[in-house]
Homo-oligomer: A and B are copies of this chain.
């Protein structure tokens, strides 16, 4: 049995940065994150075990408040300032770029389309930077949009590049001018490409990451275009020996907020089950 790992494994830049900020702060301060820092329950548990709490609202106390990687809207910053809260911003820099673009277009009074999931905290925050915003959740919604003289468009950072490209081309039939901000995260895009390459050549794809993680769910969608047997798991405990046949090839990809220790657990378990029959390689 062979296990093929994608090259990009574990935390992406934005998640690594956010976790690093909290780790460093927690050595000197009592830390709270404003909502769960990242979309990985196991990593959140680890942080809680270290004494990092989760705050649901802006309250001034003796803690350092950390804004999570998905970002927040301008009303939260205003409230933080107004209440004199001691805070650190761990918003992913790529999400911040999208927020800044939306803010700039709002100032120009250009209507804005966000391609993403309305209920996702990243999208919720980005959309709150403008008044005239439409969230498009699927391609077939474009047809129902009105025509525009000019429209701006951004995407949730974890969207599929291929779908975002289709959105752009369809919008060009709806508007004379389309101002596109390419907000898809390069690392997310690379993970999706690697996942597709892996899914084409393996018997089973193991997708590891939070069940609430948009980029992990997206990886599963990408893989299921090419591989019939895709399993999205959060931890090693969901892994089943019977998924793997004698001579099978398994692929493994992780979401951008999946900590390395979960991957280590999985490899350890596979080694335990298959021992010398298992070879591990990296996709190249």
Contact = CB atoms under 8 A, between A and B. Distances in A.
A114 B125 CA distance: 35
A264 B97 CA distance: 58
Interface string A191-208: 000000000000000000
A274 interface: no
Interface of A: 97, 101, 165, 168-169, 172, 175-182
7 contacts: A168-B172, A172-B180, A172-B182, A176-B181, A176-B182, A177-B179, A179-B180
Contacts of A179: 177-180
B172 A178 contact: no
A168 B180 CA distance: 10
Contacts of A168: 168-169, 172, 180
B172 A101 contact: no
A149 to B, nearest CB: 11
Q: Which of A172, A178, A180 has the most CB of B within 10 A?
A: A180
A177 B172 contact: no
Contact of A172 (B165, B175, B176): B165
A241 B86 CA distance: 87
